[in-house]
Amino acid sequence: MYPTLALYIDGEFIGGENRKTQDIINPATQEVIGQLPHATRDDLDRALEAASRAFQTWRNSSPMQRAEILRKVGQLSRERAQEIGHNITLDQGKPLAESVGEVMSCADHTDWHAEECRRIYGRVIPPRDPNVRQIVLREPIGVCVAFTPWNFPYNQAIRKICAAIGAGCTIILKGPEDSPSAVMAIAQMFHEAGLPAGVLNIVWGVPHEISDYLIRSPIVRKVSFTGSVPVGKQLASLAGAHMKPVTMELGGHSPVIVFDDADVTRAAKMLAKFKIRNAGQVCVSPTRFYIHEKVYDDFLATFVDTLKGIRVGDGLEPETQMGPLAHERRVPAMTRFVEDAVQLGGKVVLGGEPLDRKGFFFSPTVVTDVSESALLMTEEPFGPIAPLVRFTDTDDVIRRANSLPYGLSSYVFTNSLQTATQVSNGLEAGMVNINHFGSALPETPFGGIKESGIGSEGGSETFDGYLVTKFVTHV
């Protein structure tokens, strides 16, 4: 059932003949489930040449033609969501319902880009001389390269592909080597939907070798990356050295602020379930919990109680609510966060350890009384760990929430409109969610500020990073 893994270059699926291959591991069982071929230099050159050639035609394709292909992929993905989701659970670990949900929600992203690409408008600027015409055109930027991660292997890839292709660009995408099946499925669907050869190319390999080679290529005009802040900075520096624009969707350390006037029980239950989604491996996962002193004990009791009831297991088992971490290296990373927090006075009130079973499992963990200088409060944990601290003063908690270089998402629970307005104005974040979790819809912009990134994906902003502006004037 797990797909044969391949490169996809110039409309052809290319297998492992004589190429280096990499084992794909199921994180719940540690079994090898597939072999991923790595691209050679010749493969990368071929992908560059194909993307460059295809761009000459695709840039002139009508938005209707692009929309038709995108819509077809949306339809195919709805039909295949169970199968694609099953494979995502096999190579990434999240519960099947989450994997299938990821694919289904991305069908909406494909539809959105199909609709929105017909509205890439320019404008006419009133001239000083009535005989002059002044027109602003927005044109596709050219060949794009994209590097996408393993936590939402379908979502992160399809958003970049739809934006590039919908804008009239061609793209070479390096997907996540740890969890490649979703990107394979995407390539297969675009192939079947009739996307011309070379418009989409998929490569795999050693991440820094591929990105270094592709970003330096004079053929490439645009770089898009989703992943960690340190890697994002490296790629943005390299792109900058070659004067190429970037879209960077990087990590965060999202504050949650629960005020004493909030519905505390509801907030604690909602946040516990949101925290363990994808085992906390979500860039917008709530990661620093600031709870008003007056409601701290009530919040903690309900939060811990809800987490205690979470079923951790293999994502293919129907009752599982939280799967394993996506790969082996994330388990010691979690232990390091907990040990450091404890050394600085933190108290582990739930979990704190890997599960004693096969697979890369770490228990849902709550740490209280955490020092604000602990790694857990300053570095993105990217796992199922929640640090809780107290606050009393609104200005003070806004200052603490803004104290890190990140600015991705943020969460506020309050029943006061005045507090909601004050905090949403004060938070330095690309996204502010008040009393619910409302980010990441196709029609809304998704992106961070400060070190969390550059540019937005989704919303009417979605094509901005893939277009250039041309001014045309004539008499």
Q: Which residues bind ligand NAD (CB under 6 A)?
A: 147, 149-151, 176, 207-208, 211, 226-228, 231, 234-235, 249-251, 283, 329, 380, 382
* Alpha-carbon span 76 to 38, nearest angstrom: 27
Residue identified by tokens 């084992």 is 23
Closer CB to ligand NAD, 89 or 278, in the complex: 278
Q: Which two tokens stand for residue 170?
A: 């061609």
* Alpha-carbon span 177 to 92, nearest angstrom: 11
Closer CB to ligand NAD, 289 or 382, in the complex: 382
Q: Identify whether 169 is a catalytic site residue.
A: no
CA distances from 111 to 24, 78, 117 (A): 31, 11, 10
Closer CB to ligand NAD, 9 or 250, in the complex: 250
Residue identified by tokens 């929309």 is 67
Closer CB to ligand NAD, 249 or 340, in the complex: 249
Residues 6 or more apart whose CB falls under 8 angstroms from that of 424 comprise 412, 432, 434
CA distances from 49 to 53, 54, 143, 220, 314 (A): 6, 8, 10, 10, 42
Closer CB to ligand NAD, 20 or 470, in the complex: 20
Compute CA 353 distance to the chain's CA centroid, rounded to the nearest angstrom.
26
* Alpha-carbon span 74 to 111, nearest angstrom: 6
Q: Identify whether 144 is a catalytic site residue.
A: no
Closer CB to ligand NAD, 296 or 337, in the complex: 337
Cβ atoms of residues 221 and 35 within 8 Å: no
Closer CB to ligand NAD, 168 or 359, in the complex: 359
- Active-site residue, from 249, 379, 380, 457: 249
* Alpha-carbon span 264 to 414, nearest angstrom: 9
Cβ atoms of residues 449 and 106 within 8 Å: no
* Alpha-carbon span 210 to 38, nearest angstrom: 10
What is the helix (H) or strand (E) element at residue 387, kind and residue range? strand 385-391
Letter string b/e over residues 419-441, b meaning 16 or more CB atoms within 10 A of that residue's CB: bbebbeebbbbbbbbbbebebbe
- Active-site residue, from 106, 144, 169, 283: 283
Compute CA 53 distance to the chain's CA centroid, rounded to the nearest angstrom.
29
Q: Which two tokens stand for residue 330?
A: 């994330």
CA distances from 377 to 282, 291, 402 (A): 16, 14, 12
DSSP letter, residue 197:
T
The residues annotated as belonging to the active site are: 249, 283
